[in-house]
A and B are shown apart, each in its own frame.
Chain A
Amino acid sequence: MKVKVCMGSNCTLLGAMNLLDQIESLRELIEENSLEYKDEELEIESIKCLGYCKTTDANIAPVVIVDEDVIFNATGQIVMEKIMDKMRI
Chain B
Amino acid sequence: MKESYVDLINIRRKVFVEIAKMAYEDTDLNELEKAAYNIIPGEVAKYRENIFRERAVVEERLRLTMGLNVRSMSEFTRVTEGIDEVNVDETKFIPDLVNVITFACEACPTRALKVTDNCRKCLAHPCTNVCPVNAVSIGKDRAIIDQDKCIKCGRCKEACPYSAIVEYQRPCAAVCGVNAIESDHLGRAKINQEKCVSCGRCIIQCPFGAIADKSQIYQLVKALKTKKNMYAMIAPSFIGQFGALTTPEQIVEGIKRLGFKDVVEVSLGADITTLHEAKEFLQKVPNEIPFMGTSCCNSWALMVKNKFPEQYEYISDSASPMVETAKYIKKNDPDAIITFIGPCISKKLEALREDVKDFVHFVITFEELMGMFVAKNIELSEIEISKEIQDASTLGRGYSVAGGVAEAVKKTAQLLDPSREINVESASNLADCVKLMFQAKAGRKNGYLLEGMACPGGCIAGPGTLASTTRVKKAVEEFKNKAPFKTPLDNELIDEELKK
Interface residues, chain A, with chain B CB atoms under 8 Å away: 5, 7-10, 12-18, 20-21, 46-49, 75-76
Contact = CB atoms under 8 A, between A and B. Distances in A.
B193 interface: no
Nearest to A17: B467
Nearest to A20: B244
A14 B381 contact: no
Nearest to A16: B243
Nearest to B38: A59
A10 B373 CA distance: 9
A9 B374 contact: yes
B244 A46 contact: yes
Given A21-B3, A75-B6, A76-B6, A14 B243 contact: no
B246 A7 contact: yes
Contacts of A48: 245, 379, 381-382
Contacts, number: 68
Nearest to B381: A48
Interface stretch (B9-17, B158-166, B317-325): B9-17
B379 A14 contact: no
A62 to B, nearest CB: 9
Interface in B6-29: 6, 9-10, 13-14, 17
A87 B243 CA distance: 27
A14 B246 CA distance: 16
12 contacts: A7-B243, A8-B243, A9-B379, A12-B466, A13-B13, A13-B466, A17-B471, A18-B3, A46-B245, A48-B381, A49-B379, A49-B382
A13 B370 contact: yes
A21 B470 CA distance: 9
Given A13-B13, A17-B471, A21-B471, A7 B244 contact: yes
Contact of A7 (B3, B14, B245, B373): B245
Interface string B368-393: 00110110011111100000000000
Q: Across chains A and B, which 10 residue pairs bring their CB atoms closest together, nearest first?
A: A12-B243, A46-B244, A7-B243, A18-B3, A7-B245, A17-B467, A9-B374, A13-B374, A14-B10, A13-B370
Interface of B: 3-4, 6, 9-10, 13-14, 17, 242-246, 370-371, 373-374, 377-382, 466-468, 470-471
A15 B245 contact: no
Nearest to B468: A21
Q: Which of A10, A12, A17, A48 has the most CB of B within 10 A?
A: A12
Contact of A18 (B6, B242, B374): B6
A79 to B, nearest CB: 12
A13 B244 CA distance: 12
Contacts of A76: 6
Nearest to A10: B374
Contacts of A75: 6
A8 B379 CA distance: 6
Q: Which of B9, B243, B468 has the most CB of A within 10 A?
A: B243
Nearest to A58: B41
Nearest to A47: B245
A89 B377 CA distance: 43
A12 B242 contact: yes
A48 B466 CA distance: 18
Contacts of A17: 243-244, 466-468, 471
Contacts of A18: 3-4, 6, 468
